[in-house]
Structure 1
Amino acid sequence: MTPAEIKRLYQITKVQLEYGLDELIPEHELARLPKLARKALFWMKNKHPDKPLGVRMRLALQTLGPVWIKFGQMMSTRRDLFPPHIADQLALLQDQVEAFDGELAKQKMEQALGGELEQWFTNFDIKPLASASIAQVHTAQLKESGREIVLKVIRPDIYPVIQADIKLMYRMARLVANLNSETRRLKPVEVVAEYEKTLLDELDLRREAANAMQLRRNFEGSEELYVPEVIADLSSRDLMVSERIYGIQVSDIEGLQRNGTNMKLLAERGVTVFFTQVFRDSFFHADMHPGNVFVQHAHPENPQWIGLDCGIVGTLNSDDKRYLAENFLAFFNRDYYKVAQLHVDSGWVPADTNVQEFEFAIRMVCEPIFAKPLCEISFGHVLLNLFNTARRFNMEVQPQLVLLQKTLLYVEGLGRQLYPQLDLWATAKPFLENWMGEQVGPQAVINSIKERAPFWAEKLPELPELLYDNLKHGKQLTNKVDHLYQGYRQIKRQQATGQFLFGIGATFVVCSSLLFVYHHILVSAIMGGLGLVAWLFSWRSYRK
């Protein structure tokens, strides 16, 4: 290790021990060495013994900086690996990171644009509007139109920091993985690898720009969700330029109430926006924490959500959507056998799973939930309970469902923060039932015909010619088959003749041999000659 890596490792170790994260080391024979090392570093005492472990972990990651904050955010989605008291705290991690120098940000922007900012923008504010772990945002106006925009630029120092910290994460993950079977179950090396990929994806702002443009197109003209326009011509890998929006942050309950916002409608629209993204578009914003969600000032009686930061999105294929919708409907109808069977049919659990045992396990875990009124049931925790139960039956981790679960928990939390009486099920059930009705039965056939109508309309003028060509090709094919059949019959006749001549030849040769034995040499020679002639003709028949 280099001196810089040793120094950074010391800093990481110091922070972890000062927040008492050594409690995560399991009670096991193989864990003696780390615990002895902990005792050796006696001056690094736990300074927060009064706080729960989950809170301490969140604070430690915030102290360690941007890379570790992002790591904690990603880990909060892996509820298959971490207990709720830790995952819930990690989900609270926000990108509250100190801003870097505005002049340096301006230099980075000019490098990305290939010229001075004044060529494209006026009123550039050197003071950042917001600063996060990966990027920083500044405001300006477009020179030609005067339109207000924001410029999001990647941190200049982030690449070396990421490389160094990821390398240390891998070292620590391998150490944890070698402790015992329980820590290996957490798959620490695989978790770090997944994080590395996610982080590198977020460093390319072209990905976020493309996601934002797709989401904006999906909700074009919608009263429920607005996504700011991306100025694609000025955006690149390290810089994204987009429309500036003004709104009230969704966590500012007092501000929303002062503005006269219809809180019930706003909360319900949050639910419908989520399910529309998932089931209609198969493309959903998967990072809807309060820092990324605002509400329009205008028309508070008809409130509209604003979605920012589309760096993380989720997708579902048609099979996953159908199974998910059927799971929700079956669960709230308490049809646990169907829930179990759907998990098997979808391939989420092995095909040889005992459905009756699986049904009983789901019933045992989920039935107590219905002791509450439906309006108090957490949709996100329903999904969490289903997945936790399914893992006991060797359910494979489904990344797309993990993202969906995290997003659903965000949406549900925001909705009930806005309007505590929100009945998520009453809002979602009609949506799911309508969607299912469109996927099966007569309506599904009609929808399929509508979707294919442009294709058939395009092909209709070609139909007579295609029909004629098919008939012509069919006749040619019939002639070829007839020809092949005649050839086949001829070959079979030739083969039959050859077999007959071969048998005659064999008979003559046998008779010749017998006559030769009894000294009838002349007759023997004649019979042998006839046998050879018969064999010659039989060989020629096979050759044909």
Structure 2
Amino acid sequence: MKPFNYLSNAVRAPEIVAILVRWGFEDLLLQLDTPQFLLKNLVRKKVTHLTAYERVRNACEELGPIFVKFGQILSTRPDRLPEPLVMELKKLRNDVDTQPFETIKPVALKALGRELEEVFAEFDPHPVAAGSLGQVYRAKLISTGAEVAVKIQRSEIHKTISADMEIIGWFAKQVHARIEELRPYNFPSLVREAEKRLEEELDYRNEADNAEIFIALNTEQANVFAPKVYRELTSRRLLVTEWVEGFAPDQITLEPEVAERVARMGGESIFHQIVGTGFFHADPHPGNMLITDDQKICFIDWGQAGQITMQMRFHLADMFAAITERDAVKVIRVAQHMSVDDRRIDRRRLEKEITFLLNKHREFGPTGTKMGTVGLEMLYLFGSNGIEVSPDYALLSKSILCVEETARILDPHFDIQKVARPYLVKLNKERWSFSSIRRQTLFPMLNMLRSMQRIPENMQRILQKVEDEKLQINFHHTGTENIEETINASMNRLTVGIIIGSLLMGSSLVITTGVRPFLWGYPAIGIVGFVVSGLLGIYIVISTLRKHH
């Protein structure tokens, strides 16, 4: 994250503050030591009927597409954020104004390296869809005559993202440093992760890779597919795929039997992706799925995808079994295997919280709680109790919840457990097969023997470093995140102080020389020097008192 520069954000920062105040976050801004002049004469809405999480979602939507995208990325971290907040952030959808084609066309021309007429026989300048990062157009290729979808990144999007993420980063650092009850969420770390994810989504070649990986791994599923990618026309800011005619699940009416079959087909596809291949679409909400006229399902927008290893899939099967058996002890044991570190936890407290969660959600299925919702809440309990799991588990829970919600739009009686059970049974059979057991025991034993063989060599290397006086021990001192900002502020004040001193000395010398022109009987240059020194001095005093306050 870049350090916050108020001058470069002099227009956007007041706008963001005004929107946050409008949605009832004035108390938060006061705790962050926001300059008072930004909080004056602002309109306050009556939002007491909304929860804090609903106000966060509304504020993100009003703050613009980058904040919407940031919120969508945060919704994939249920292990770090409360489940009600994650559920609200999941509702964020891209509803943004379209850019005129004249504005976005230069991006396409630069990406293609030639005129549109040299590639496309037809190109409709009116976008069929607009998102926070890009817009989609319909076109026809000259080479094959095939209809294609052309996704073009918005003009100046990098500059917009840089400005907004700088402000978001500043808010995150202030919240982490000043509000103790929010410190466990580690917002600066979340912002850094979101920036990294955003950079990945800004490179459309990643989306093309994800779609092609899905196609390669799902050749057996004839009724589920992803659009073909035209790799020779795809670049960092331009994506060309085949055009797919279809309707979103919430925009189509099907016969009950057909709807039930399509819903089951979508659920089976997601579990085949998760359990069968380990590579899955991380955001299969209705806007990212199309149902074709021949009742096939097309997954589009592969900007978010997850990848889990075979061992992670085994942990997933164990976790499903523990939840359905309502065994809190087993849930904790599996969670510790899923953890990426060996931090000590309060098992008694965690067991009480998991037991309460399992008792709260006594039924799953069409009439009960969604399995994905339980997964999100469970991940938050793990995170808040010191069990840090791979972010891919969070993407997995979100994917299951999304497909569960989408399937129930088509079939209100859709039961994710019935769909998942055959895949989990097959996974368990594979897990305890002879070849799998051999792979899980023989190879680790061989690795352990190799490691034991290297012990004398490693010991000799350490002793050699001690003998050569080259042994180093590195310490990392936490809690110094704001030291750079403090040093910069101190150096700025010191510089201004030196300037003031120089002005005072120079002005005193000029006053005694009698150099014209005069002002009130004294040399004007000396008088101006004293005035400037006085103003700078007053500025330093006021800024110091404000910082102390």
SS in structure 2 opposite 1:178? helix
The CA distance in 2 between the partners of 1:385 and 1:367, in whole Å, is: 13
Residue 177 (str. 1) matches residue 176 (str. 2): yes
The CA distance in 2 between the partners of 1:429 and 1:23, in whole Å, is: 48
Give the RMSD, CA atoms, in angstroms.
2.7
CA 1:222 to 1:204, structure 2 compared with 1: closer, same or farther past 3 Å? same
CA 1:283 to 1:40, structure 2 compared with 1: closer, same or farther past 3 Å? closer
Residue 282 (str. 1) matches residue 286 (str. 2): no
CA 1:447 to 1:12, structure 2 compared with 1: closer, same or farther past 3 Å? same
The CA distance in 2 between the partners of 1:357 and 1:45, in whole Å, is: 41
What amino acid is aligned across from residue 96 of structure 1 in structure 2?
Answer: D
The CA distance in 1 between the partners of 2:137 and 2:87, in whole Å, is: 31
The CA distance in 2 between the partners of 1:224 and 1:337, in whole Å, is: 40
The CA distance in 1 between the partners of 2:290 and 2:411, in whole Å, is: 16
Which shifted more, 127-136 or 336-345?
A: 336-345
Is residue 14–residue 38 contact of structure 2 (8 Å, CA) maintained in 1?
A: no
SS in structure 2 opposite 1:247? coil
SS in structure 2 opposite 1:248? coil
Structure having greater relative contact order (Cα 8 Å, sep ≥ 6): 2
What amino acid is aligned across from residue 381 of structure 1 in structure 2?
Answer: T
Is residue 349–residue 393 contact of structure 1 (8 Å, CA) maintained in 2?
A: no
CA 1:251 to 1:374, structure 2 compared with 1: closer, same or farther past 3 Å? closer
- TM-score of the aligned structures, taking structure 2 as reference length: 0.73
| 1:296-315 alignment runs, 5 A limit | 296-298=292-294, 303-315=295-307
Residue 12 (str. 1) matches residue 12 (str. 2): no
Is residue 350–residue 394 contact of structure 1 (8 Å, CA) maintained in 2?
A: no
The CA distance in 2 between the partners of 1:404 and 1:372, in whole Å, is: 18
| 1:520-535 alignment runs, 5 A limit | none
The CA distance in 2 between the partners of 1:357 and 1:172, in whole Å, is: 32
**Aligned equivalent of 1:370:** 362
The CA distance in 2 between the partners of 1:330 and 1:239, in whole Å, is: 45
**Aligned equivalent of 2:102:** 103
Which shifted more, 47-56 or 320-329?
A: 47-56
CA 1:168 to 1:386, structure 2 compared with 1: closer, same or farther past 3 Å? closer
SS in structure 1 opposite 2:132? coil
**Aligned equivalent of 2:232:** 233
What amino acid is aligned across from residue 40 of structure 2 in structure 1?
Answer: L
**Aligned equivalent of 1:291:** 287
Is residue 82–residue 380 contact of structure 2 (8 Å, CA) maintained in 1?
A: no
**Aligned equivalent of 1:31:** 31
What amino acid is aligned across from residue 425 of structure 1 in structure 2?
Answer: Q
- From 373, 380, 384, give the equivalent of 1:381: 373
The CA distance in 2 between the partners of 1:2 and 1:185, in whole Å, is: 27
CA 1:373 to 1:294, structure 2 compared with 1: closer, same or farther past 3 Å? closer
The CA distance in 1 between the partners of 2:365 and 2:285, in whole Å, is: 27
Give deviations 1:44-67, integer Å, cap 9, x for gaps. 312544443333322221222121
SS in structure 2 opposite 1:309? coil
**Aligned equivalent of 1:508:** none
**Aligned equivalent of 2:422:** 430
Q: Which runs of 5+ in 1 are unaligned?
A: 449-544
Is residue 375–residue 424 contact of structure 1 (8 Å, CA) maintained in 2?
A: no
What amino acid is aligned across from residue 329 of structure 1 in structure 2?
Answer: A
CA 1:374 to 1:145, structure 2 compared with 1: closer, same or farther past 3 Å? closer
What amino acid is aligned across from residue 157 of structure 1 in structure 2?
Answer: E
Is residue 125–residue 137 contact of structure 2 (8 Å, CA) maintained in 1?
A: yes
CA 1:354 to 1:42, structure 2 compared with 1: closer, same or farther past 3 Å? closer
**Aligned equivalent of 2:57:** 58
CA 1:45 to 1:207, structure 2 compared with 1: closer, same or farther past 3 Å? same
**Aligned equivalent of 2:392:** 400
Q: What's the offset of the Cα at 1:395? A: 0.6
What amino acid is aligned across from residue 344 of structure 1 in structure 2?
Answer: Q
SS in structure 2 opposite 1:161? helix
**Aligned equivalent of 1:525:** none
| 1:109-120 alignment runs, 5 A limit | 109-120=108-119
The CA distance in 2 between the partners of 1:294 and 1:190, in whole Å, is: 35
Give deviations 1:148-179, integer Å, cap 9, x for gaps. 00111111110111111111112111211121
The CA distance in 2 between the partners of 1:353 and 1:59, in whole Å, is: 36
Q: What's the offset of the Cα at 1:398? A: 2.5
The CA distance in 2 between the partners of 1:354 and 1:85, in whole Å, is: 24
Q: What's the offset of the Cα at 1:107? A: 2.5
Residue 441 (str. 1) matches residue 433 (str. 2): yes
CA 1:229 to 1:331, structure 2 compared with 1: closer, same or farther past 3 Å? same
Give deviations 1:200-245, integer Å, cap 9, x for gaps. 1111111111111111222235234110100011111111111000
Q: What's the offset of the Cα at 1:183? A: 2.1
Give deviations 1:89-116, integer Å, cap 9, x for gaps. 2111111111111133332212111111
Is residue 366–residue 412 contact of structure 2 (8 Å, CA) maintained in 1?
A: no
CA 1:443 to 1:433, structure 2 compared with 1: closer, same or farther past 3 Å? farther
The CA distance in 2 between the partners of 1:420 and 1:43, in whole Å, is: 46
CA 1:443 to 1:250, structure 2 compared with 1: closer, same or farther past 3 Å? farther
**Aligned equivalent of 1:251:** 250
CA 1:145 to 1:68, structure 2 compared with 1: closer, same or farther past 3 Å? same
Is residue 361–residue 368 contact of structure 2 (8 Å, CA) maintained in 1?
A: no
Q: What's the offset of the Cα at 1:397? A: 4.3
| 1:206-221 alignment runs, 5 A limit | 206-220=205-219
Which shifted more, 51-60 or 357-366?
A: 357-366
Q: What's the offset of the Cα at 1:370? A: 2.2
The CA distance in 1 between the partners of 2:204 and 2:365, in whole Å, is: 44
Q: Which runs of 5+ in 2 are unaligned?
A: 441-549
Which shifted more, 143-152 or 371-380?
A: 371-380
- From 17, 21, 25, give the equivalent of 1:21: 25
Residue 415 (str. 1) matches residue 412 (str. 2): no
- Identity across the alignment (%): 28
Q: What's the offset of the Cα at 1:86? A: 2.5
The CA distance in 2 between the partners of 1:127 and 1:404, in whole Å, is: 35
What amino acid is aligned across from residue 60 of structure 1 in structure 2?
Answer: A
The CA distance in 2 between the partners of 1:270 and 1:151, in whole Å, is: 26
The CA distance in 2 between the partners of 1:290 and 1:371, in whole Å, is: 25
Residue 321 (str. 1) matches residue 313 (str. 2): yes
